[in-house]
Amino acid sequence: MTWLTLDTWIVATSALVAIACVLPGCFLFLSRQSMMSHGISHAVLPGIVIGHLVTGEVDTPALFIGAILAGVACAVLTRFLQRLSGVEEGAALGISFTTLFALGLIMQRLFADNVHIEPNHILMGNLEVAVFSSISPESQLPETFIKAGIAALVNLFFVVIFFKELTISTFDPNHGDSVESRPRLMYYLLMTLSAVTCVVAFEAVGSILVVSMIILPPAIASFFTKNLKHLIILSVLFAVLGCGLGHVLSITTFGPLFAKAFQLNDYSSTNTAAGITVVLCIMLVIGIVQSKLIRKG
């Protein structure tokens, strides 16, 4: 195994993305809203396209803001559908995010087909490519690394500042309302940050694997602790560990296998995000097994 500076950047960037994902992820997981992240991560597409249509550019903050608004719209729409029609939350989410995603696809095909907003790219992401685009020609610092770092910091700040409020509103929102801890505001703040995180995480891991980064670490940690603060810290540790091991797995195992299958010499460009998810899944299995053993023992 040859380890290059690039590998370090890949691991460091994915670790920051994972930390950013895990922090709101813990509360989504605990309030049984994990799949909201899946919805949000898809629903941002129309926001990106509209942002592009308004500004005519691809690389502007407008895209980012559009994406966040669309993500939050998905959460609002889901609640609205649920209240209006009385369908269960999962179904309401299924309707709202697929509708928004489809809307985004149509708009993109109609108005922005010539621009590089690849749905495929959004779905799959590419960490290996993402770390190549640095913030300036002289520097090696990847732009994604900076963005993920900012997202992780913002989320950390949010969780630390609003820890009490988040706990009350995810454990018992009705009680939150009666003691005036603003559970509804907290819900939408959590959704906003999830949207921000999803958008940032896209470039690195794609919108499908974002979901695994949001859900898996808290799910694993829940097998090892019954304390909320410990759960969050453990989730972060598991996520970072998963990123390191995942990349090693993908360059030592998946890469060579892939190269052999297609008879290529260069096998450095496998999907690290997939490796990370596989490692996280293995960790989850370990968590399940040990919790069963403890219960028996």
Partner 1 sequence: MKAPVLEANHMTVCYDKKPAVWEASMSVPAGCLAGIIGPNGAGKSTFLKAVLGIIPRTSGSVSFFGEPYKKVKQRVAYVPQRESVDWDYPISAREVVLMGLYKSIGLFRRKTKEHVLQAEEALDRVGMLDYAGRQIGELSGGQQQRVFLARALVQKADLYMMDEPFAGIDATTEKVILELMQELKQNGSTVLCVHHDLPTVADYFDHLSLLNLHVVASGPIDEVFTKEQLMKCYGGRLELLTKLTESLGRLEALKA
Interacting residues toward partner 1 by CB under 8 A? 30, 32, 86, 161, 164-165, 167-168, 170-172, 174-181, 222, 225-228, 230-231
Q: Which is nearer to partner 1, 149 or 218 (CB)?
A: 218
Report the first-to-last Cα separation within the chain, whole angstroms.
40
Residue 113 is given by DSSP the state T
Helix axis angle, 143-161 to 183-221, nearest 10°: 110
Smallest distance, partner 1 to C-beta of residue 76, A: 17
CA-based radius of gyration for the chain = 20
Q: Which is nearer to partner 1, 238 or 254 (CB)?
A: 238
Answer for the pair 133, 153: CB distance below 8 angstroms, yes or no. Answer: no
Q: Residue type for 119, please? A: P
Smallest distance, partner 1 to C-beta of residue 170, A: 8
Smallest distance, partner 1 to C-beta of residue 30, A: 6
Task: Pick the closest to residue 247 from 276, 269, 268 (CA basis).
Answer: 276
Is the alpha carbon torsion for 85, 89, 90, 96 positive or negative?
A: positive
Q: Which is nearer to partner 1, 2 or 227 (CB)?
A: 227
Smallest distance, partner 1 to C-beta of residue 53, A: 38
Q: Which is nearer to partner 1, 95 or 177 (CB)?
A: 177
Q: What is the C-alpha to C-alpha distance for residues 284 and 217, in angstroms, rounded to an integer?
A: 8
Smallest distance, partner 1 to C-beta of residue 190, A: 16
Task: Pick the closest to residue 23 from 184, 166, 185 (CA basis).
Answer: 166
Smallest distance, partner 1 to C-beta of residue 237, A: 16
Residues in CB range of 168: below 8 A, 6 or more apart:
175, 176, 179, 181, 183
Q: Which is nearer to partner 1, 26 or 196 (CB)?
A: 26
Structure tokens at 4: 């290059």
Q: Which is nearer to partner 1, 91 or 179 (CB)?
A: 179
Q: Residue type for 290, please? A: Q
